[in-house]
Chains A and B, each alone.
Chain A
């Protein structure tokens, strides 16, 4: 069964800290992996997409890595800001379907 898990479920940090969000998937036969941001009452915003042949992607203060062999991806957020507070979702594209993780709820305190 294809499953995606994320740890921690929730995280609260002071502004300015660097942090890492983790995503694990059971089936390594992926097409790509995406990290999304979800704000309360709003839709998803795609942050980074990593193709199965890639190891990492960077966008601004965000860096996502992918290790297919171990079934893991991490989202690194540098110098966190209160505006980063949201739920972060990891989603794996298996070609046949997408499987979403449960999300990590991040609070960045000013």
Chain B
């Protein structure tokens, strides 16, 4: 298996633009997580899906952030409009039940 796949790997955009991050979880996994990592705040869980249904989105910072999982093999995290303080590394991870969680390589977002 190729592992968790994220795209793009790097994104540089201007403030106010819409940003869409994509994730393909490991086939067969039923849980998907979106994390954000910054030097200031460390690693934060943004949202957690189970069987394509959002279970906990309490970590989503504000209404500018939205996440979807239309099927078991694809998820998106959208920021609209983007702001400089959204600059971070965004990780997607997947797992099967309570077993080990596998992380993607991350998307490094820079908002200027």
Contact = CB atoms under 8 A, between A and B. Distances in A.
Interface residues of A, number: 16
Interface string A39-55: 01101111000000000
A9 B43 CA distance: 24
A44 B101 contact: yes
A104 to B, nearest CB: 12
B43 A45 contact: yes
Contacts of A81: none
Contacts of A96: 9-10
Interface in B31-45: 33, 35, 37, 42-43, 45
Interface stretch (B63-71, B80-88, B92-100): B92-100
A2 B37 CA distance: 21
A28 B1 CA distance: 26
A46 B43 contact: yes
Minimum-distance CB pairs A-B, first 8: A97-B105, A41-B98, A46-B43, A98-B106, A43-B45, A46-B42, A40-B98, A100-B103
A97 B100 contact: no
Contacts of B102: 100
A44 B43 CA distance: 8
Contact of B35 (A38, A40, A44): A44
Contact of A99 (B45, B91, B97, B105): B105
Given A38-B100, A38-B101, A44-B101, A98 B35 contact: no
